Amino acid sequence: KDWRKQPATDKTYAKFKPFFSKAHREWRKTLRATAGGHFPRANSAPEQFRYPSNSPTATSELSDSIANLATATASDRATVATLTDTVAKLSAELASAQAKLISVLLENQKLLKLVSGRGSRTSGGESKTSGGEAQGPWSGPTIHYCHTHGLQCPHPSFKCPEPATGHIKNATKKDMRGGTEKIYKAK
């Protein structure tokens, strides 16, 4: 209010800072005098919050609060212990499943090597080697696709030993990415 009463010629930034600093100090002093402390407090708090610290009601409420806190803490500890056990069990199950998966993948690689070394499958159910002789009803098809070399290639696109210009390494049989659609023929 006092600042507004100042003449316009006195309302400069240089005079503003000390004026409001003094006004703020005076305001803070009035807060201490009315609230009885350093920071503002509610002077008209309801009666239930004004118990003296040694009254039976305050002591009873405090002990109830402490008991509730202790119960909640014990419950939280039990929950954390249960969760820790569950995580340990799930970690062990995951490790076991990963070990089984690795062994199955290794077995799968062995079988693929065995199958891919026997030649390519013909329409009559017989397989032929690169020399053309039949080896029996099953030798397994070559299942790879290469962006440069095409379908039934002995290597996938990402392992192509002789990629052409513009070769796309992540091309697959389902997503050829504009690659060749020819059946691979060995040179």
Q: Dihedral through CA 14, CA 16, CA 18, CA 23, nearest 10?
A: 180
* Residue 130 confidence (pLDDT): 46
121-138 pLDDT, tens digit per residue, is 444 444 444 444 334 343
**CB-CB neighbours of 87 under 10 Å:** 10
18-61 pLDDT, tens digit per residue, is 888 888 888 777 766 554 555 555 555 555 555 555 556 666 77
Contacts of 91 (CB under 8 A, 6+ apart): none
Q: Are 140 and 121 in contact (CB under 8 A)?
A: yes
User: Rounded to the nearest 5°, which phi and psi values hold at 151?
Assistant: -75, 155
H/E element, 75: helix 56-116
Which two three-digit tokens encode residue 187? 């040179």
pTM attached to this predicted model: 0.31
* Residue 75 confidence (pLDDT): 85
Confidence band for 118, pLDDT divided at 50, 70 and 90: low
* Residue 125 confidence (pLDDT): 45
Q: Which of 28-32, 118-122, 175-179 has the lowest mean pLDDT?
A: 118-122
Confidence band for 141, pLDDT divided at 50, 70 and 90: low
Q: Given the structure tokens 């509730």, which residue do they identify?
A: 68
Q: Are 133 and 143 in contact (CB under 8 A)?
A: no
